């Protein structure tokens, strides 16, 4: 290296200048350095180009180093010092390969490229594990190596301009995790969703979180491991549960008690086992245990264990990151728990709502019994009115009656609501001439409107098509709206209009009444809302009518609107779509399942009339019935029938009810009243009445129990039974009729209704009895005729056998005895034809005999049959056939069933010989018998590998003389008919299955378990 | 030279009578056969045994005769002191009763079910021969 004192002096001065100008520590250090001890030699000997480069280096604020000479002696500036860490100042003048021995292999090729080609390199964010802080550290660098030429122009060194990107890269990575975690947590509603999001996001950052665990404290303070993908679980380091007060692998107790962050730095312990490495080539040696805090609670909800990157120190940024992660989990958890709480509350509310609906239902139920007890006697008394009581009394009774009816109406309306609420309303949408129906309903109010001095017009135009409505519901819609208009209109007019508009039927009810204040309008369809201060004809009202209208209209897929102006009037408009597409199809044309709550127009009108001054004194139009004519007629009938009174058994635990019903019925029937189902059962069986009238809810034995008991007793099986119940729900009714009740009366019922039903069922039963008797006689005749026929078949077949035998024997005798005939081959052939015919016919007759004997002889048979023995018997008979055909018959164990063994032997014999007979050509027959218990019956299977049959024939097979394969297989066609007959004698079933021709067959007979 | 075998035959079907004769002939039996064509005649026939007619060595009885029930015919044989020990061969087209021990009870020596094959039918001759032989040895 050439020495140039001048340039050396300049350079020295440059170095000096650097110092004097405050160029920093490195310049000072380099000045004081004894360069003669380094490969570079004394500064005076440095080539100019090196000095220039050093000058640039030292004066730059950008991190740089340069390597000079064959060993690339290392020179660097102040900005580069942090990258060197502990290697400063030792690195100064040290060969590059020693300074960065740990990354030499990573950069070697770059260095060599630059030195040999003189071309610069560039790397961005290159990961280098630098050993500068006492451990290999994950660092990132963006740098460029450029060549440095000596004074002669030869490349003698390289200059590296570098910027360390470690913080940026790692921060970006952590930010990404925090960002993703935050959005994943935001999308999670429940705790499991949250945890799975946490696992997924933490698991995605394997560099900062080589492993992580989450524990949540339960109510007792035990820490419970969260098991989701991405979080460590089912590992020695992740016990499922850490009991309260215990630490386990992690300081759980401490975190629980103090809620502080702990660093665990002895992860090499054996008890935690081999930990996951994450993105690195070795496992973390430390972990941070961070509490997951919960708002306003001193105890943490749990804790996060984060395995720490072994190539990073646990600095502020790292701990900040992990705490932020824990913070996010804590926030997510508190949201999830709040959400859960919310959901529980919503469920509780829904439960409350259901309870409310049930309450409605119960209330209406509770009302019905006393209502019956009120209304019934009143009607009864009113009907006797003409006889003795004074008018004053009857007036009072009428008041009671009307109020009772009103109560009934209320109860029914409530019930309507509870049904709608419970989703139990079952509309029956039928195509209806809506014009006609609406006119009819609206017109019922005419007299009331007239009497109130109101103009009443009903304009219904004929619609282009029938409208699908539930008539009962439509009735309630119309009557409620008209009644409402009537109630709030003191003068002027009420108009009811029906039009077709845009594919909808529009019902408009317009009044000139008191109107509704604007602020009240949004609420008129709310339940129990009553417009305050409205001047109606009455203050009575449930506030439920319009709400009901709205519910009913919406069930029709329609809408109801109101417009109104105070003191000018209101207009209610109902729109229902035409056609039926908008309706639930299963309810279109469906039968009505629910007890009707329809009250009919009269009830509305009757009530409306009472709102008029003096209205109550007028007899309501439908009050006629209570005034007696009909009841008189009934009494006359009952007197006529007195000599031959029918008896009614009444079961009700309510003494009032018993007394009341007894009184109602006793004029026409003998009534026996008992207080519970058990008494009724005993009484009915001891002396069957003509009809049973029973309450449903009773102690000891309830109505359904009674029903069941009576239906299962022979003497009371067909008794007409009417259930009386306060439960008006559809289920009750279906339950009642399904259970075999003849009818079902819902309380409150009227006297008339009760009498009518009782009478109807008694006469129905009488007719049925007569019809039964007739049928029984016919049946007996038939049975007799049948028996005779069977006798005849037996005798006839026997008698048929005789001549046949003769035909055969004498044919043989003839051939044998006549020399002439014996010589002729045709004669022998003809004789054989005759013989064959005879044998065939004999088989036929034999089977017919058996067939008729199935009826004749089975009664004397043993009560139980061991089918194994029956099978053996059959096999004995079939021995020759089986041997001849090479058939195999296998059988599993068979049960013992009711019936005659010999008969079953016959069944087996026929089925097996059938299976053998219909074998496939060239295939040895295989018959398998097996038994299986299915529910309460035994199924005996006879499977074969024979020719099978077309499944479409499976019904025909058992018919008399039904032969499916006539040509190829001989047989009488009676065998299976015999089987069927026998099996059916024992109340069993027999059927055949085959997957088709050539696929074998399965014959199955099924017998009730019975005596086994 | 032994005396001919005496047979009583109660049988309403002439066809059967002829075949039975054929069967006996086939055995080259020397026989004398008295035939009754219905129950009444059979009863009368039995009464004449040992009187104007020789006592039979064997009685062939069809149980399905017109006019008199099979059981009654049995009684008329068994209650007749002169016929009490005579072997009875039931010749019938019906199946034997299912009841066990009936043959001993009624003293039936053989139950021959009329077959519809000639050769089988002719077997009856051998049966008669055997029964009579046993009878004579006794």
Q: How confident is the model at residue A908 (pLDDT cuts 50, 70, 90)?
A: very high
Are β-strands A691-695 and A646-651 bridged in parallel, bridged antiparallel, or unpaired? parallel
Interface with A, mutate which of B98, B100, B118, B124 (most A CBs under 10 A): B118
Cross-chain Cβ contact B13/A806 below 8 Å? yes
Q: What is the mean pLDDT of residues A607-631?
A: 45
Report the DSSP pairing between strands A569-577 and A864-866: unpaired
pLDDT on residue B128: 92
- Residue A505 C-beta-side C-alpha neighbours within 13 Å: 27
- Are B16 and B65 contacting, i.e. CB atoms less than 8 angstroms apart? no
Is the minimum CB–CB distance between A72 and chain B shorter than 8 Å? Answer: no
For residue A683 the two structure tokens come to 């009484």
Reply yes or no on whether the pLDDT at A303 is more than 80: yes
Lowest mean pLDDT among A716-725, A788-797, A815-824, B93-102: A788-797
Position with higher pLDDT, A596 vs A650 = A650
What is the reported pLDDT for A202? 92
Q: Residue length, chain A?
A: 1012
Query: Which residues of B fall within a CB distance of 8 Å from A798?
Result: 93-94
Quick: pLDDT tens for A470-498.
888 898 899 989 988 998 898 899 999 99
CB atoms within 10 A of CB B61: 24
Whole-number pLDDT of residue A4: 43
pLDDT value for A635: 31
pLDDT of residue A532: 61
Question: Taking 80 as the threshold, does the pLDDT of residue A675 lie above it?
Answer: yes
**What was the pLDDT predicted at A616?**
42
The confidence band for A871, taking pLDDT boundaries of 50, 70 and 90, is: very high
Chain A neighbors of B15, CB-CB under 8 A: 806, 809-810
Lowest mean pLDDT among A464-468, A836-840, A993-997: A836-840
State residue A362's pLDDT score.
57
Q: Strand pairing of A455-460 and A493-501?
A: parallel
Which residue from A798, A809, A842 is facing B19, i.e. has the nearest CB?
Answer: A809
Least confident of A617-621, A674-678, B36-40: A617-621
- pLDDT of residue A1000 exceeding 80, the answer is yes
pLDDT value at residue A1003: 92
Tell me the DSSP string of A919-953.
PPTTS--EEEEEEEEETTEEEEEEEE-S----GGG
The confidence score (pLDDT) of residue A511 equals: 94
CB-based contacts of A600, cutoff 8 Å, min separation 6: A475
- Pick from A794, A800, A805 the residue to mutate for testing the B interface (most B CBs within 10 Å): A805
Q: Which has the closest alpha carbon to A94: A118, A120, A116, A76?
A: A76
Q: Considering only CB atoms, which chain B residues are within 8 Å of A816?
A: 118
Distance CA A165, CA A119 (A): 24
Closest CA to A510 of A531, A530, A489: A489
Q: DSSP letters along A150-216, please?
A: -TTS-EEEEEEEEEE-HHHHHHHHHHHHHHHHHHHHHT--SHHHHHHHHHHHHHH-TTT-SSEEEEE
| pLDDT of res. A649 | 93
Residue A288: predicted pLDDT? 92
Interface ipTM: 0.80
Residue in A with minimal Cα distance to B95: A798
Sign of CA dihedral A916, A919, A923, A927: negative
Alpha carbon distance A838, A844 (integer Å): 10
Per-residue pLDDT at A634 exceeds 60 = no
pTM above 0.90, yes or no: no
**C-alpha span between A168 and A639 (Å, rounded):** 110
More confident residue, B13 or A691: A691
Decide if pLDDT at A789 tops 80.
Answer: no
The two three-digit tokens of residue A290, written as one number: 């961070």
* Interchain CB contact of A954 with B (< 8 Å): no
Contact (CB, 8 A) for A742 and A731: no
Please tell me the predicted confidence (pLDDT) of residue A497.
93
Task: Report the pLDDT value the prediction gives residue A394, as an integer from 0 to 100.
Answer: 61
CB spacing of A798 vs B93 below 8 angstroms = yes
CB atoms B116 and A816 under 8 Å: no
More confident residue, A743 or A208: A208
Residue of A796, A798, A803, A809 to mutate for B, most B C-beta atoms under 10 A: A809
Beta strand A212-217 with A302-307: parallel, antiparallel or unpaired? antiparallel
Mean local confidence (pLDDT), A752-769 = 80
Residue B93 is nearest to which of A801, A808, A812, comparing CB atoms?
Answer: A801
Whether pLDDT at A14 is above 60: no
pLDDT over threshold 80, residue A944: yes
Size of interface A-B (CB pairs under 8 A): 34
Both tokens assigned to B68: 């008199």
How far is the C-alpha of A812 from the C-alpha of A804, rounded, in Å?
Answer: 12
Eight-class DSSP state of A429? B
pLDDT surpassing 70 at residue A764: yes
Nearest to A692 by CA among A773, A748, A750, A761: A761
> What distance lies between CA A788 and its chain's CA centroid?
60
Chain B residues inside the 8 Å CB shell of A842: 116
Q: How confident is the model at residue A241 (pLDDT cuts 50, 70, 90)?
A: confident
Residue that is written with structure tokens 């069986």 in the block: A685
**What tens digit of pLDDT does each residue of A698-708 get?**
777 888 888 88
pLDDT of A795 above 60 = no
Residue A920: burial class (beta carbons within 10 Å; 0-12, 13-18, 19+): middle
Is residue A376 within a helix (H) or strand (E), and if so which, with residue range?
Answer: helix A316-383
CA A747, chain centre distance (Å): 35
Tens digit of pLDDT for each residue in A555-588? 899 999 999 998 899 999 999 998 888 888 877 8
A597 three-state secondary structure: coil
**Confidence at residue A927, expressed as pLDDT on a 0 to 100 scale:** 93
Nearest CB among A806, A812, A842 relative to B15 is that of A806
Angle (deg, nearest 10), helices A825-857 and A901-917? 140
- Please give the Cα distance from A162 to A63 (Å, whole number): 6
CB contact under 8 A, A809 and B94: no
pLDDT at A969 over 90: no
Q: Which residue of B has its CA nearest to A835?
A: B117
Joined together, the tokens standing for residue A395 give 């007036």
Q: Between A175 and A806, whose confidence is greater?
A: A175
**Interface touch A805/B19, C-beta < 8 Å:** no
Mean pLDDT for chain B?
A: 84
Nearest CA to CA, how far is B100 from chain A (Å)? 15
What's the mean pLDDT in A933-946? 90
Among A138-152, A506-520, A803-817, A900-914, the range scoring the smallest mean pLDDT is A803-817
Q: Considering only CA atoms, give the Rg of chain A.
A: 52
Averaged pLDDT of chain A: 78
- Asked if A147 and A119 count as a contact pair (C-beta separation under 8 A), the reply is yes
What digits encode the pLDDT tens for the residues B74-119?
A: 888 888 888 878 899 998 877 777 666 777 777 788 889 888 778 8
The answer, for A838 touching chain B at a CB cutoff of 8 Å, is yes
Contact A629, A652 (CB under 8 A): no
**Confidence grade of residue A402 (pLDDT, cut at 50, 70, 90):** low
What proportion of chain A, given as a percentage, has pLDDT over 90?
Answer: 19
Cβ contact (<8 Å) for A809 and B121?
A: yes
Q: Which two tokens stand for residue A374?
A: 């009120």
Sorting pLDDT into bands at 50, 70 and 90, what band is A643?
Answer: very low
Residue A956 CA to residue A991 CA, distance in Å, equals 10
**What is the predicted pLDDT for the residue at A641?**
38
Residues of B in contact with A795 (CB under 8 A): none
Mean pLDDT of A323-329: 89
State whether A813 and B22 contact (CB < 8 Å). yes
Q: How far is A839 from chain B (nearest CA, A)?
A: 9
Of the pLDDT bands very low, low, confident and very high (cuts 50, 70, 90), residue A12 is very low
Q: Which of A408, A544, A551, A582 is nearest to A473 (CA)?
A: A551
Q: Give dist(CA A378, CA A260) in Å, integer.
A: 81
H or E segment to which residue A561 belongs:
strand A559-565
Q: Is A200 exposed, middle or buried (0-12, 13-18, 19+ CB in 10 A)?
A: middle
Q: Do B118 and A813 touch (CB under 8 A)?
A: yes
Residues in chain A within 8 Å Cβ distance of B118: 808-809, 812-813, 816
């Amino acid at each position: 290296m050439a020495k140039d004192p001048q340039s050396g002096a300049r350079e020295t001065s440059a170095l000096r200048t650097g110092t004097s100008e405050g160029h920093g520590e490195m310049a000072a250090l380099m000045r004081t350095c004894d360069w003669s001890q380094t490969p570079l030699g004394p500064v005076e000997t440095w080539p100019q180009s090196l000095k220039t480069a050093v000058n640039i280096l030292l004066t730059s604020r950008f991190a740089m180093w340069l390597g000079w000479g064959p060993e690339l002696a290392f020179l660097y500036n102040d900005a580069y010092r942090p990258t060197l860490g502990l290697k400063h100042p030792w690195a100064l003048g040290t060969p590059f390969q020693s300074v960065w021995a740990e990354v030499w292999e990573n950069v070697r090729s770059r260095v060599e490229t630059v030195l040999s080609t003189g071309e610069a390199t560039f790397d961005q964010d290159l990961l280098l594990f630098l050993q500068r802080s006492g451990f290999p550290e994950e660092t990132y660098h963006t740098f460029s190596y450029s060549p440095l030429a000596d004074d002669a122009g030869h490349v003698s060194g390289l200059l590296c301009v570098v910027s360390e990107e470690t913080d940026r890269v790692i921060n970006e990575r952590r930010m990404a995790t925090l960002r993703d975690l935050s959005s994943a947590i935001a999308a999670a509603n429940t705790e499991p969703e949250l945890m799975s999001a946490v696992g997924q996001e933490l698991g995605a950052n394997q560099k900062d979180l080589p492993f992580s665990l989450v524990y949540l404290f339960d109510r007792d303070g035990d820490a419970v491991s969260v098991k989701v993908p991405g979080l460590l679980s089912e590992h020695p380091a992740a016990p499922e549960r850490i009991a309260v007060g215990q630490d386990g692998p992690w300081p759980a107790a401490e975190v629980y008690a103090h809620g502080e962050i702990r660093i665990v730095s002895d992860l090499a312990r054996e008890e935690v086992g081999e930990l996951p490495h994450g993105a690195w080539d070795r496992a973390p040696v430390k972990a941070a245990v961070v509490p997951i805090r919960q708002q306003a609670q001193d105890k943490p909800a749990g804790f996060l264990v984060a395995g720490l990157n072994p190539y990073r120190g646990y600095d502020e940024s790292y701990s900040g990151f992990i705490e932020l992660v824990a913070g996010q989990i804590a926030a997510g958890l508190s949201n999830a728990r709040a959400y859960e709480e919310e959901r529980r509350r919503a469920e509780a509310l829904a439960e409350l709502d259901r309870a409310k609906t049930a309450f409605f239902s119960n209330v209406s139920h509770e009302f019905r019994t006393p209502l019956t007890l009120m209304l019934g006697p009143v009607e009864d008394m009113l009907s006797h009115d003409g006889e003795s009581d004074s008018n004053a009394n009857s007036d009072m009774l009428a008041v009671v009656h009307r109020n009772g009816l009103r109560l009934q109406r209320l109860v029914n309306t409530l019930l309507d609501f509870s049904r709608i609420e419970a989703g139990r309303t079952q509309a029956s949408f039928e195509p209806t001439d809506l014009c006609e129906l609406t006119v009819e309903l609206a017109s019922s109010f005419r007299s009331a409107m007239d009497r109130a001095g109101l103009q009443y017009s009903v304009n219904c135009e004929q619609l282009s098509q029938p409208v699908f409505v539930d008539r009962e519901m439509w009735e309630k819609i119309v009557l409620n709206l008209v009644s409402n208009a009537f109630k709030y209109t003191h003068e002027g007019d009420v108009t009811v209009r029906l039009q077709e508009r845009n594919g909808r039927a529009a019902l408009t009810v317009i009044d000139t009444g008191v109107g509704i204040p604007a602020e009240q309008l949004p609420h008129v369809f709310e339940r129990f809302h009553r417009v305050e201060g409205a001047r109606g004809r009455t203050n009575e009202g449930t506030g439920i009518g319009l709400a009901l209208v709205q519910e009913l209209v919406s069930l029709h897929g329609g809408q109801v609107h109101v417009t109104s102006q105070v003191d000018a009037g209101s207009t209610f408009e109902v729109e229902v779509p035409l056609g039926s597409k908008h309706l639930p199809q299963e309810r279109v044309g469906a039968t009505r399942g629910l007890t009707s709550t329809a009250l009919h127009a009269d009830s509305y009108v009757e009530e409306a009339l009472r709102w008029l001054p003096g209205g109550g004194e007028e007899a309501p139009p439908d009050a006629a019935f209570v005034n007696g004519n009909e009841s008189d007629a009934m009494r006359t009938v009952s007197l006529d029938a007195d000599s031959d009174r029918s008896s009614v058994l009444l079961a009700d635990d309510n003494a009032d009810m018993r007394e009341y019903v007894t009184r109602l019925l006793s004029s026409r029937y003998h009534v026996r009243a008992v207080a519970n189902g058990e008494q009724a059962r005993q009484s009915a069986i001891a002396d069957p009445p003509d009809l049973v009238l029973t309450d449903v809810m009773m102690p000891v034995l309830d109505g359904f129990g009674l029903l069941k008991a009576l239906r299962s007793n022979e003497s009371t099986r067909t008794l007409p039974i009417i259930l009386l119940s306060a439960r008006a729900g559809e289920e009750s009714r279906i339950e009642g009729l399904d259970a075999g009740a003849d009818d079902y009366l819902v309380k409150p019922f009227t006297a008339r209704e009760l009498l009518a039903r009782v009478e109807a069922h008694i006469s129905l039963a009488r007719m049925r009895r007569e019809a039964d008797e007739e049928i029984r006689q016919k049946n007996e005749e038939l049975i007799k005729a049948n028996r005779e026929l069977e006798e005849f078949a037996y005798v006839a077949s026997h008698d048929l056998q005789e001549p046949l035998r003769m035909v055969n024997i004498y044919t043989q005798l003839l051939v044998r005895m006549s020399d002439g005939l014996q010589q002729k081959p045709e004669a022998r052939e003809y004789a054989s034809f005759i013989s064959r015919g005879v044998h065939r016919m004999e088989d036929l007759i034999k089977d017919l005999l058996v067939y008729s004997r199935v009826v004749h002889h089975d009664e004397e048979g043993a009560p139980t049959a061991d089918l194994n023995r029956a099978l053996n018997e059959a096999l004995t008979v079939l021995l020759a056939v089986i041997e001849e055909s090479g058939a195999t018959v296998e059988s599993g164990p068979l049960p013992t069933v009711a019936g005659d063994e010999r008969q079953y032997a016959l069944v087996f014999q026929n089925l097996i010989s059938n299976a053998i007979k219909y074998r496939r050509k060239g295939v040895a027959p295989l018959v398998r018998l097996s038994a299986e218990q299915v529910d309460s019956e035994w199924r005996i299977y006879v499977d074969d590998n024979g020719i099978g049959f077309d499944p479409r024939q499976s019904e025909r097979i058992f018919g008399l003389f039904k032969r499916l394969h006539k040509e190829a297989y001989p047989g009488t066609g009676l065998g299976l008919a015999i089987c069927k007959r026998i099996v059916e004698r024992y109340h069993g079933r027999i059927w055949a299955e085959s997957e088709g021709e050539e696929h074998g067959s399965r014959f199955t007979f099924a017998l009730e378990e019975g005596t086994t | 030279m032994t005396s001919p075998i005496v047979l009583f035959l109660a049988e309403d079907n002439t066809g059967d009578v002829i075949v039975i004769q054929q069967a006996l002939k086939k055995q080259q039996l020397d026989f004398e056969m008295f035939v009754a064509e219905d129950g009444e005649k059979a009863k009368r026939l039995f009464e004449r045994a040992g009187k104007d007619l020789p006592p039979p060595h064997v009685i062939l009885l069809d149980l399905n005769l017109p006019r008199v029930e099979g059981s009654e015919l049995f009684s008329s044989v068994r209650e007749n002191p002169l016929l009490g020990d005579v072997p009875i061969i039931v010749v019938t087209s019906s199946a034997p009763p299912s009841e066990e021990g009936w043959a001993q009870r009624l003293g039936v020596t053989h139950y021959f079910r009329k077959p519809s094959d000639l050769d089988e039918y002719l077997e009856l001759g051998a049966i008669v021969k055997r029964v009579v032989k046993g009878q004579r040895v006794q």
